[in-house]
Amino acid sequence: MKLSLEALQILDAIDRRGSFAGAAKVLYKVPSTISYTVAKLEEDLGVQLFERVGPKATPTEAGRELLKEGRHLLRAAQELEVRVRRVASGWESEFALGLDSLFPVSLLGGDIAAFYEAADSTRLRLVSESLSGTWEALLDRRADLLVAAGEGPSGGGYVVEPMGTVRFVFAVAPTHPLAGRAHVDAAELALHRAVAVADSARRLLPRTVGLQSAQDVLSVPDMQGKYALQLAGLGCGFLPEPCARAAIAAGTLVAVDVEEPKPDETFYLAWRTGEQGEALAWWLRRLRAPGLFDGWLQRLAGT
């Protein structure tokens, strides 16, 4: 056969990351290996799979069809491997925990150490995504358990359990034009650049949160970057109140009352329906611990 599971993994990674270099990084391969695999497959199949414009790679019509069907094969192979290994030990050979980018992986340091003491034969992988991208990681089997923001996509196939809620505050640097305003309406807000965390989803409909129509937007990959740029006065926007609390108290950020405040965001634990395994059970017990979510928020606040 001209197709292999490794080749399908490479094609999938190129599509998800948008470039050969991005695929090489996520697959821990050198770029030349990625280029050779794709070129060899295109030669063997007699079709072009990607259009290359500079560093960007976009699937052709043939490439999209191969990816669509190939992902079914990848999921089937992953499920088979998991079932076989689980029968032998009860523990998953690999377990992927997906976190919304609001929460840095450093919050899990103690939990990771405890997990390795309980499951030294399971390889742990941490996945950081934003907004709908976190849910997409679960549906695409790149994550086995999520800490995700907001409600998941329609269609089911997963179990959800609320962890807690986060309050948001609109904040700007003291030098920002909105810093001295007692109240800002939507029309005035639209005149100022917003800093926003970009949704990392590639297939699901991306979410936009707290943005005005036609507003200039500076997109960043995570909440830590958003906080830093707003602190530097390069834009405005909503921040999790725990993240902004110390800066507001110190006067390096100013809270502003806006016409359309952002509602509290609920965060959920989510995992695929019917999934079982000792690693999943272990992490569910750990992340359900009383006070854990509030402890995360306190650490984000620096208290």
For residues 195 and 58, membership in a common domain is answered with no
CATH number of 114's domain = 3.40.190.10
For residue 33, give its domain range: 5-68
The answer to whether position 31 is within a domain reads: yes
Q: Do 174 and 257 have their domain in common?
A: yes
CA distance 56 to 86: 39
Amino acid at 147: V
Say which range, 77-91, 169-183, 219-233, 281-295, has the weakest mean pLDDT. Answer: 77-91
What burial class does residue 72 get, using C-beta atoms within 10 Å of its C-beta: 0-12 exposed, 13-18 middle, 19+ buried?
A: exposed
Distance CA 142, CA 150 (A): 19
For residues 253-268, give the mean pLDDT.
94
Looking at residue 164, what is its pLDDT?
Answer: 95
**pLDDT category, 276, cuts 50, 70, 90?**
confident
Residue 91 is assigned to a structural domain of this protein: no
Find the CATH number of the domain harbouring 254: 3.40.190.290
In this structure, are 258 and 289 located in the same domain? no
Residues 220 and 276 in one domain: no
Give the pLDDT score at 208.
64
Tell whether 115 and 249 lie within a shared domain: no
% of the chain beyond a pLDDT of 90: 70
Same domain assignment for residues 291 and 159: yes
Let me know whether 249 and 172 are in one domain: yes
Which residue is associated with the tokens 């530097």?
A: 232
What would the mean pLDDT of 266-282 be, rounded to a whole number? 94
Predicted confidence band at 210 (pLDDT cuts at 50, 70, 90)?
A: low
65-80 mean pLDDT = 88
Residue 90 lies in a domain: no
Instruction: Provide mean pLDDT across the span 279-297.
Output: 95
Same domain, 216 and 158: no
pLDDT digits (tens, 9 = 90+) for 162-174: 999 999 999 999 9
Residues 206 and 288 in one domain: no
73 within domain boundaries: no
Q: What is the per-residue pLDDT for 89?
A: 66
144 shares its domain with 159: yes
pLDDT band at 180 (very low <50, low <70, confident <90, very high): confident
**159 and 276 fall within a common domain:** yes
Q: What is the mean pLDDT of the chain?
A: 90
Count of structural domains, the chain: 3
The pLDDT of 25-33, averaged and rounded, is 91
Q: Examine residue 105 and state whether it is found in any structural domain, yes or no.
A: yes
- Domain-embedded: residue 101: yes
Query: Is the residue at 210 inside a domain?
Result: yes
Return the CATH number at 53. 1.10.10.10
Residue 207's pLDDT band, with cuts at 50, 70 and 90, is low
